[in-house]
Structure 1
């Protein structure tokens, strides 16, 4: 049967319930969010003369929970206006409304008796055929649907979202004893396609896949810390970005999530998996038990493994359980990996370290390799699902089996034996069958070792994806140290950046020009996209700083003009250029999007022109383009100055969208032209599709514009009055005013006496002149240097 989701009912509005409701609202679904009726009035309600029968009182819990979620940072919602898609109510008065829902999600407290009671009530109103799922992190699914009807059980399963639902991609689907295969198939596809998740079907075992492996990893670390005498700072240094994990690493992550949350799952595992070979590792170390007694639970209680006192961050000493000043951690082994860009390439060096770090990695990975091998087929039949779960649920760049492949399967076995641990026999059988790795790549697709058939099988679900890692070498058309051009097939090329943070310098500029040249000569279109952490953080400001300090202004002028010319080359090529931004897309990365024929943005795109933060204006065509976009909004009888001012403020305030949807508000993305994809894995394939549509629709090379209406002194005067008043009110510094006035001069088209039609080149020349003049300012150089050394803007 064809199934569509138009309305979802979420029962339970706590942190998870509200987060799930917001994410469904993100993707355009109507949501009914319900919670219980309060048992008593608050003092404020009593003073207002309200009673327990008042609607405001009866919906107080759900409304407070939702409002708290909407105010939280990072926001659970792509755009605040999307909150209007959520209707609130209570389970006493409004439960009958779930009859209109296509999917009912239970997110109440983690107690089986309460969940069963809720399902009993839900079944009174649920229409047959409606999906019904429980968001549980560990209660066995088979217990929950006991006593329910055949139709209920057929359409029931667990759907475990990870918190926060907007940001963490893992979506575990756990079938019950009678769950229909059609339901599993639908949820798997819906999670990937619409919710933007990595869907993983798991077995109904304690903590499922993600938390079973993740909690093992953290608990084994807790025990290893004591065994090796490591400090909190040392562990966070060893388990963070150097191995492709989040900056918060281990202990800071526990502080953010909450120690009580971790302990709850660990205790559940200790009770639930008595036959697990690592059972004793799930027992809490003494220092964790003491922290629980003291209620040092992390951020929520103001202290955990770290504690902020005034401006200082103190660290917990795990031996004395007293807080002390932070100590910087450093290891020789880590220094050896500084020149290795990709974490996956560092593991061989890390396990070979001669210091304490090397010993730590050998023991840590030995334990993890042995543990994950022994979990198959207990928690899943497929090794790739374990890797998918750890990458999507815990933010690991590489899963355990990928890391094992990186160090070598036989080397991993050597580490396991040295640690006196046991691994699963299927690993030896894999090697004996001639398969020397867990993964392989064939014709651009990823294959994973399949235990029953003793062969590599294609990982399902890839047909909607283009994985650049898999085609980078086989489909490479051209490359230099900053960029690679690949053939995506069907006449479409892809240009991928791989400079540090994907900054745009000389080699990336060369790559853009070369890609357009090649596409114009032998192909139909070009996608500019990558699958790194960020699309691009902007121009290489280190290069700009060096030229400015050395006062090489001719060279700097040439570099800026080359950047501008490259952006215009993208705008006026004879083939369609589609940009596929994601993550941080700042400064020059944003300017590249502004000059593309179409933008296919990931929902999680943080895009904006941020050059004010380093003391300059957008110099790669960004100031020009925002002026053009403002004048394109001018209509007869409009107050044109107001429209121009909106675009001016978007640049002058260095506005960065907190999602791609917000970028429509700032004019960076354009309605009716640009589009958004929720699942980043689909982004390159989607961008390719749109490049092909543009090409096959008869794309014609645009004509350079000479019809841009600038307002001259009329606009310039208004902007300068504004910057004067901002300075007078101490909202901006003298240097901020100087930068803003330079931008005003460009966006007004200079001090022309009346509105005039000018060309894009005219505006580009003004923009470049303003950029150059600001690079001669000492305070601009201070801002650039501060950004390069501290990684954040300086207000001077």
Structure 2
């Protein structure tokens, strides 16, 4: 706290376990100076426990750190020597084991060392915040609250913020701003009830799944096949998620509900199944013990059969008719068909949704302020595509409510408790602006809050004014500003003020309309037209997509072929697990977006070369336009998408942006100016020293199709510049990008002068890189065609077979790019790689 303004300069995390260490890692990702405390080691270095935890951060996947080098910024500390350091901390987060006695004992120990304005928060996943607060002196309780991060903290959007009775309101507002903007989180204000919101609903959903799996005699692998992407949930579904979380942790949260909710109508269901307890007793805790509900045997995945308590091969899949039923676009049709279908799989799914809806309706008033908070909690904390109330409302509020009541009366539901009266009231409503009946809890003006019998609008905290287009719920229409011009491929538009007119900042926005925002000739035309329009009538141009990804790259021949999910190449498994909504490999996306097969077979290399030339010209237009250009990047920016990012005057990227030149994965090289740009950056950054060491690093990134694992990693690889900004919250991306564009315009923007005297590495650089490639070839690390691809990349990036130090301009590199791209495209082995990847989704080594 500085002069009344809340600023987090230093933080401390108490507890260096898996969760505590990862929270510390994410604070470091956000450039917050962070202390990580643990018990002192009994022998040797007193900080050995913390040091080991920090070392483990660099080995974990998905990576908790944006780049491994950030681990060095976490400062180890222990309770025996360093409690005085807490006085300088603005916030202290406790993240030790879920034991009330351990937590309260720690609180009593550290309370005397907290600074005058230090905020203290517990990362408990479900213990009572008010009971924990009793461990503090009364005069400190106004600075205490719960901050519940979800695992893994870097990637999961949800943080539940829980007040105790004495928590200061202004403090909570300050914390929410910090969590939203500086840590990139979606904050839900939860009530102090057991397991809060997300875990309360999520654990019940897991228990209901277990209950109905047993009732319908479905194997665990079949249940996971049914409760994953088919119904809009993560691939880990139910039982695999249990293994990932830890079966002991799952049992603990179930027991918390059993012990703290004795009067709950569903209390008989709050029990750890016998088969689950048997696994825990045997030490099979899931992924961390390499055995749980699933285990890997050689290359095979086996699953537990609860009837025999033995493992069998996991191979179950959903019935074809159930898959087709779940693909129906109309949710009302899907649910009517599920309920009418008498197969065990259909009846299982209907029962699962029925009891979930029933539970959420009965408990909403107690556990959450409104229906929006509950739905966002499940989307942000558990990765569901829609929250329970959204699904119910989309399927027909009154129809579903009637079916639930019928099943309650028939004794089919898990509880006989009736639906609350407000459920019937939600079946009546009219949107007068369109004269249309509206049924459900979500309306344009807010979401239903049963405790106050009102529709609660979104938070009016100033931090949310930075979210020009926040995450939205079913029923919330969004209007992306006012159109400047629009084609089938792109839309150029601007934001509007509250009255619907031009907001006056003069910033134009360009969004692509193509699948995965791929870049074909029609998009290139649209970009060029947008630049011309912006130069005539606007102050700056921002490229921003209304949904991620930023761009999957070049699309040399427009195709309507639908992208298909596939098992990704092993090198990108981590990325795919991390980015659920775009769960295909980067190489597959690049190949499908290129879609060169038809052009190759028809011998249209000249047509392809003309498109490459058009792409290069568009990249150069972005660089040298008379107005500033800003790329606002979220998610994947591959190949040509990466090249657009590299050529804009500024890039603003979310932390979870995965940027790279991946063309080598399908036997090609970057030819939209990417090779040229990296060669130019190596020369510029080296200044008066030898640029070849930098150039060699950039070559390795391109030749191995390396993707940045974060925006910070993309800076290390050279795809982003030091001046490019990293935004933690994806919903603030456009706000920051527009601010950057406006700042450039206000500074009296002029395009950079064209670089005419670039010193090349030339023949010596090419020979050095080829020497490395020869060693790899002879060691069977690469194939002969890999050698050819690498040699072509080296030829371009080193400026061709010129005398080292020769001076060339940018066009020289662009011509080399274009020629090398076409030469590789003409080879049978590159054609085979493209065709194979298109057909199988896997890379071909030939």
For the structure 1 residues 403 and 502, does the alpha-carbon distance in structure 2 shift closer, same or farther, using more than 3 Å as the test? farther
Which is further off, 613-622 or 400-409? 400-409
Aligned partners of 1:449 and 1:456 also within 8 Å:
yes
Q: 2:424 aligns with which of 419, 428, 442?
A: 428
Task: Note the aligned Cα RMSD (angstroms).
Answer: 2.6
2:844 and 2:309 map into 1 onto residues whose CA distance is: 37
Deviation per CA, 1:653-707, whole angstroms, max 9, x where unpaired?
32222211122211111112x1001111111221122222223333334555443
Q: 2:534 aligns with which of 502, 509, 519?
A: 519
Aligned partners of 1:129 and 1:151 also within 8 Å:
no
> Are 2:822 and 1:772 aligned?
yes
Residue matched to 2:55: 67
Q: What's the secondary structure of 1:132's corresponding residue?
A: strand
Residue matched to 2:835: 785
2:335 and 2:596 map into 1 onto residues whose CA distance is: 35
Residue matched to 1:352: 337
Deviation at residue 757 of structure 1 after TM alignment? 3.2
1:6 and 1:93 map into 2 onto residues whose CA distance is: 22
Q: 1:15 aligns with which of 13, 18, 30?
A: 18
Which is further off, 679-688 or 317-326? 317-326
Deviation at residue 479 of structure 1 after TM alignment? 4.8
Q: 2:715 aligns with which of 646, 661, 664?
A: 664
1:84-483 aligned at under 5 Å gives the runs: 84-327=72-315, 329-330=317-318, 331-335=320-324, 349=334, 352-353=337-338, 355=341, 356=343, 358-420=346-408, 422-432=418-428, 434=430, 436-441=439-444, 447-451=446-450, 452=452, 454-455=454-455, 457-461=457-461, 462-467=464-469, 470-472=477-479, 475-479=482-486, 483=490
Residue matched to 2:519: 504
Q: 2:747 aligns with which of 665, 680, 697?
A: 697
2:171 and 2:220 map into 1 onto residues whose CA distance is: 44
Deviation per CA, 1:732-759, whole angstroms, max 9, x where unpaired?
2211110011111111222234543333
Structure 2 gaps of 5+ residues are: 431-437, 497-504, 556-590
Residue matched to 1:643: 694
For the structure 1 residues 305 and 448, does the alpha-carbon distance in structure 2 shift closer, same or farther, using more than 3 Å as the test? same
> Are 2:706 and 1:655 aligned?
yes
Normalising by structure 1, report the TM-score: 0.91
Aligned partners of 2:481 and 2:495 also within 8 Å:
no
1:585-624 aligned at under 5 Å gives the runs: 585-624=637-676
For the structure 1 residues 677 and 323, does the alpha-carbon distance in structure 2 shift closer, same or farther, using more than 3 Å as the test? same
Aligned partners of 2:325 and 2:337 also within 8 Å:
no
Residue matched to 1:713: 763
Deviation per CA, 1:258-305, whole angstroms, max 9, x where unpaired?
122111101211222222233233223344334334433221222223
Which is further off, 381-390 or 759-768? 759-768
For the structure 1 residues 333 and 691, does the alpha-carbon distance in structure 2 shift closer, same or farther, using more than 3 Å as the test? farther
Q: What's the secondary structure of 1:620's corresponding residue?
A: coil
Deviation at residue 198 of structure 1 after TM alignment? 0.9
Aligned partners of 2:149 and 2:159 also within 8 Å:
yes
1:561 and 1:128 map into 2 onto residues whose CA distance is: 63
For the structure 1 residues 696 and 59, does the alpha-carbon distance in structure 2 shift closer, same or farther, using more than 3 Å as the test? closer
Residue matched to 1:36: 39
> Are 2:732 and 1:682 aligned?
yes
Residue matched to 2:806: 756
For the structure 1 residues 147 and 218, does the alpha-carbon distance in structure 2 shift closer, same or farther, using more than 3 Å as the test? closer
For the structure 1 residues 204 and 373, does the alpha-carbon distance in structure 2 shift closer, same or farther, using more than 3 Å as the test? same
Which is further off, 584-593 or 349-358? 349-358
For the structure 1 residues 265 and 665, does the alpha-carbon distance in structure 2 shift closer, same or farther, using more than 3 Å as the test? same
Deviation per CA, 1:180-215, whole angstroms, max 9, x where unpaired?
112211111111111111111111100011100111
Deviation at residue 91 of structure 1 after TM alignment? 0.8
> Are 2:545 and 1:556 aligned?
no
Deviation per CA, 1:393-452, whole angstroms, max 9, x where unpaired?
11223222222232232233234234325433223223445453433447xxxx433443
> Are 2:492 and 1:492 aligned?
no
> Are 2:28 and 1:25 aligned?
yes
Deviation per CA, 1:42-94, whole angstroms, max 9, x where unpaired?
xxxxxxxxxx4x4x1x2222222222223222221112332232211221122
Which is further off, 353-362 or 289-298? 353-362
Q: What's the secondary structure of 1:558's corresponding residue?
A: helix
Q: 2:619 aligns with which of 563, 567, 581?
A: 567
1:715 and 1:337 map into 2 onto residues whose CA distance is: 57
Aligned partners of 2:365 and 2:449 also within 8 Å:
no
For the structure 1 residues 100 and 746, does the alpha-carbon distance in structure 2 shift closer, same or farther, using more than 3 Å as the test? same
Aligned partners of 1:363 and 1:415 also within 8 Å:
no
For the structure 1 residues 416 and 473, does the alpha-carbon distance in structure 2 shift closer, same or farther, using more than 3 Å as the test? farther
> Are 2:547 and 1:532 aligned?
yes
2:403 and 2:459 map into 1 onto residues whose CA distance is: 28
For the structure 1 residues 475 and 192, does the alpha-carbon distance in structure 2 shift closer, same or farther, using more than 3 Å as the test? same
For the structure 1 residues 769 and 362, does the alpha-carbon distance in structure 2 shift closer, same or farther, using more than 3 Å as the test? same
Which is further off, 447-456 or 622-631? 447-456
Q: What's the secondary structure of 2:672's corresponding residue?
A: coil
Structure 1 gaps of 5+ residues are: 40-51
Q: What's the secondary structure of 1:419's corresponding residue?
A: helix
Q: What's the secondary structure of 2:6's corresponding residue?
A: coil
2:744 and 2:166 map into 1 onto residues whose CA distance is: 47
Which is further off, 350-359 or 311-320? 350-359
- Total equivalences in the alignment: 771
Aligned partners of 2:332 and 2:396 also within 8 Å:
no
Aligned partners of 2:190 and 2:369 also within 8 Å:
no
For the structure 1 residues 418 and 295, does the alpha-carbon distance in structure 2 shift closer, same or farther, using more than 3 Å as the test? farther
Deviation at residue 156 of structure 1 after TM alignment? 0.9
1:60 and 1:130 map into 2 onto residues whose CA distance is: 27
Q: What's the secondary structure of 1:574's corresponding residue?
A: coil
Which is further off, 187-196 or 285-294? 285-294
